[in-house]
Chain A
Amino acid sequence: MSEPLSQRAATATPPVLAHRIRGLSDRAIAWIFVAPTIALLLAVNIFPLIWTIRLSLTNYRSNRPNAPVKWVGLENYQKILHDPDIWNTFQVTAHFLIWTLVLQVLLGFGLAYLINKKFRGNDLWTTIIVLPMMLSPAVVGNFWTFLYQPQIGLFNYVIAFFTGADPSSFSMIGDVGLAPWAIVIVDTWMWTPFVMLICLAGLRSIPPSIYEAAECDRASKWRQFWTITLPMVLPFLMLAVLFRGIENFKMFDLVVQLTGGGPGSTTELTSINLKREAFEKWRTGYASAYAVILFVTVFGLASIYVKALNKVKDR
């Protein structure tokens, strides 16, 4: 079963108990139970968010605690929106986002479809396929730089073995044309199982009776796929895309370890760029404005998407 996250809280709650017997009142318990969570989130999320917005209107630099702080209004925002470098990082992020989603959806759905054929041992192989996504992206990403080394790297060697090219003739993370694909490949390797698992749940949620009815109507397999399988899995698939989309918009650890944003700025995702501004150049005010813009972007896109997802579900 799947429901849009925003609705879960409302719909899945069982009827409230009417009983109120001895001890703390339900109301008190509710508050005592919720308060620590709210307090911690206020301290570590909300307060910092408000502080970020405040900082974004200043020229504060956190490596100069003693320098006077000037109120600059919306100047930081203006600068960011007019900075071609930042638009470049948005483009890089979009390329990464789109291609990882496309590949992961195709591969993930394909794998789920095949696993759903319930061949012997499919559980074991599913577990093996799932392993990469549970691992630390930084540690694994770091090791991929080794696999990508010209000549000695396993990846180059395998490619060379199948294509006959010289394994030292190309450098996945050193070449301007290849580096954007190098990060797409590793992310796809890591996260295809995520899409796969969700699709598998979708496929398994389709009652066999629907296919049986279609079979009686003599609908071809092809037609069954398009009219039954795909529409029934679509909400699941869209949910997977939502999760992957948000995660990859935030992407930092894997890519920073793989390419560090290079060569040049060809793989400089927004998070990497933001880190440079905030923690290498220490332009805290500017970086705060940047962070606010990113937050608004991801929040806005996600809300639109959730609306679309709900529509698909209601159909």
Chain B
Amino acid sequence: MSAVSVTVPSRRQKWIAGTVVIIYALVTIMPLLWIIATGFKTPSDAISYPPKVIFQPSLEGYVNLFTTRSRVAPDTLAALGEPTTWYDRIVRQYDMVITGPSRYGARFLNSVIIGFGSTFLSVFLGTIAAYAFSRFKVPLKDDLMFFVLSTRMMPPIAVAIPIFLMYRQLGLSDTHLGMILLYTAVNLSLSVWLLKGFIDEIPVEYEEAALIDGYTRFQAFVKVVLPQAATGIASTAIFCLIFAWNEYAFAVLLTSGIAQTAPPFIPTIIGTGGKDWPAVAAGATLFLLPVMVFTILLRRHLLRGITFGAVRK
């Protein structure tokens, strides 16, 4: 941070660097902006050639995302009378009526339940395990820590083969509990490694002082270490949540409906006939936005999270 004159880049260098990076950023953000924009197009605008940059915004994608619709005969349609709501009006243009809600809401809710459930569990277990690894002599500690990590090296499909059989036996296939346990196990490696790093950074003297003041070890952990580690726990939680939120391979193999999360569902959104890209884009937008917000909140801790704490700055 304290750069001295000779190593400070010149204005010209800064200007060039800035321009190149900004161009790259604009290019890289294009697909994301395109997803958001497509969500507000009509299906015909979405597939027009050349691609439309300026268009009349429409909520059709969102209406289609949240409803199921059915085409009805013109005379039946006429008998129904004037549409009463704005979303009815959108659907009626295509001689269709809304027949009910789509499953997007339920799948989104599954993502929330499984995401938060597994995050809570893995952070809870990870915190206490990390504390133990950080402060105590645990036999075979290095091996255990490495073992925790190695679970991340397996391709998820390979892990899913025995899990599939196990869950079939236990009746955990396509259940929220099954997915929460699985994601917890996968996230534990991340949370143990990250949290151990955070707890390592808390000076041992604080606890020693507490112990001398008559705290039990457990009290010292709860009243001294946990508050100190709060930021670390929070950022670890967000990383676990993002993993569970984004996960696809396990979800597609181990759930089929009841506990299916949004990532395997969104690509299967179709309209009548072909693919309804505005609805897909609308679903993707709603699903991706929370992560974008979290990323911005997390930006100071990003590096640590993505490298399992190996790089901490």
Contact = CB atoms under 8 A, between A and B. Distances in A.
- Chain A directly contacts chain B within the complex, with at least one CB pair under 8 Å: yes
Interface of A: 1-6, 8-10, 12-17, 19-24, 26-27, 29-34, 36-38, 40-41, 43-45, 47-49, 51-52, 55, 62, 111, 114-115, 117-123, 125-140, 142-144, 146-147, 151-154, 157, 167, 189, 192-194, 197-198, 200-201, 204-205, 208-209, 211-212, 215, 236, 239, 243, 246, 249-250, 252-253, 257, 270-271, 274-275, 278-279, 284, 287-288, 290-291, 294-295, 298-299, 302
Interface class of chain B by DSSP: helix
29 contacts: A5-B308, A5-B310, A17-B135, A17-B204, A22-B214, A34-B129, A40-B125, A40-B185, A41-B188, A62-B168, A117-B14, A121-B18, A125-B21, A130-B299, A131-B29, A132-B31, A133-B306, A135-B292, A138-B266, A139-B266, A140-B288, A154-B51, A197-B303, A243-B306, A249-B155, A270-B155, A271-B156, A274-B157, A284-B165
Nearest to B5: A212
Interface stretch (B68-76, B78-86, B89-97, B246-254): B246-254
A157 B50 contact: yes
B161 A201 contact: no
A14 B200 contact: yes
Contacts, number: 356
A212 B308 CA distance: 33
A36 B9 CA distance: 52
Contacts of A33: 128-129, 131-132
Nearest to A200: B303
Interface stretch (B54-62, B98-106, B139-147, B228-236): B139-147
Contact of A208 (B4, B29, B207, B277): B4
B256 to A, nearest CB: 12
Contact of A37 (B181, B192, B197, B309): B192
A146 B275 CA distance: 10
A212 B4 contact: yes
Given A1-B312, A40-B181, A9 B133 contact: yes
B161 A287 contact: yes
B176 interface: no
Interface class of chain A by DSSP: helix
B216 A55 contact: no
B44 to A, nearest CB: 11
A22 B216 contact: yes
Contact of A243 (B2, B151, B277, B307): B307
Interface of B: 2-4, 6-7, 9, 13-15, 17-18, 20-22, 24-25, 28-32, 34-35, 38, 47-51, 125-126, 128-129, 131-138, 141-142, 144-166, 168, 181-182, 184-185, 188, 192-193, 196-197, 200, 204, 207-208, 211-212, 214, 216-219, 221, 242, 245-246, 248-249, 252-253, 262-264, 266-267, 277, 280-281, 284, 287-288, 291-292, 294-296, 299, 302-303, 306-313
